[in-house]
Homo-oligomer: A and B are copies of this chain.
Amino acid sequence: MSTDKISTMREAIKKFVHNNELVFLGGFGNGIAFSAAHEIIRQDLKSLTVCKCGGGILFDQLIGAGVVDQIITSHCWNPHGPQPAWNLKRAMEEGIPNNLIYNEQSLFMINMSFYAGYMGVPFMPIRSIVGTDIFDNPKEVGLKAAKVECPFTGEEICVVPAINPDVGIIQVQRADIEGNAQMWGLIGDTKFGINACKRIIVAAEEIVDKAVIMESPERTIVSSNKVDAVVHEPWGGHPGYMQGYYYTDLEYRFNYAKETKEIRDWNKWLEKWITGVNDRQEYLNILGEDKLRKLKAKNLIQGAVNYGY
């Protein structure tokens, strides 16, 4: 079962993401799937539900571009702190560009829902959320929590339902052509989220030989048997970071908050950075080489151990 799954982002999104589907996007700080989200916007997909532990400006862009009807997440901030992002606000408060359902989960609720999906079981128990409106509220919008009585202790405990997205996309440090994908540094919800998905697209900063994968197999977060497409997409996580590759573009993120506050500025931003470019390479051209040079990570090569026997 040795297959070359290399694809462009355009082909991969075209083939594996469809209107009305539930889409998981990976990355909690490290490896946020920005490039994939931009291609989804360019292909003008409709009525998606997107899920991810923290939505941030990734979800804000999808909302502003009108491709999503529902977000399942625990927060959707602007870069400068716990303030709602502007497109989220416009959609929720004014229905611009469309009415949006914000299926708000607590961070650990959504993590355990991904974990249930990962484990192939219908629910997971958690001790938080009881007594809050987070427990009850999502009932009006889809997902909901419930309580069961523990047959061993007799106590009542919350359970949250499995999430198994139709398709998931992650941006990782490296992968081989068959889709064995490795990520290091912070993982957040990415490993469990992506393995809960029915179809999987891996976007990687580098494509490496399988021999490199096998040098530290603990870094693999999803393996080839589950992966449908592999995209070589350097800088695909910008303006987020990728450990060992590039740092967060703080200036760009700050400017995003400034440049999307008004709807007409957002429309300009959308065209400049997403719909007005053909692919990630053109986006990087606008960003410019100086910026890339500035963001590029320094070397801190470490973590080797003896695997001998």
Contacts and interface: CB of A to CB of B under 8 A. Distances in A.
Interface string A80-119: 0000000000000000000000000000000000000000
Nearest to A150: B122
Contacts of A243: 306-309
Contacts of A244: 305-309
Interface residues of A, number: 47
Contact of A146 (B147, B152, B159, B303): B152
Given A184-B305, A215-B303, A126 B122 contact: no
User: Copies per complex?
Assistant: 2
Contacts of A286: none
Contact of A300 (B123, B155, B308): B308
Interface of A: 120-127, 144, 146-153, 155, 157, 159, 161-162, 173, 184-185, 215-216, 218-219, 241, 243-245, 247, 297-309
A302 B297 contact: no
Given A122-B157, A127-B121, A184-B218, A173 B305 contact: yes
Contacts of A304: 301-304
A292 to B, nearest CB: 15
A138 to B, nearest CB: 12
5 contacts: A121-B125, A121-B127, A122-B125, A244-B309, A302-B305
A218 B216 CA distance: 12
A122 B126 CA distance: 9
Nearest to A148: B148
Nearest to A218: B184
Contacts of A306: 243-245, 297, 299-301
A222 to B, nearest CB: 16
Q: Give the 8 A-B residue pairs with the shortest CB-CB distance, closest first.
A: A244-B306, A216-B303, A146-B151, A304-B304, A297-B308, A300-B308, A152-B161, A215-B302
A157 B247 CA distance: 45
Given A127-B121, A157-B121, A303 B301 contact: no
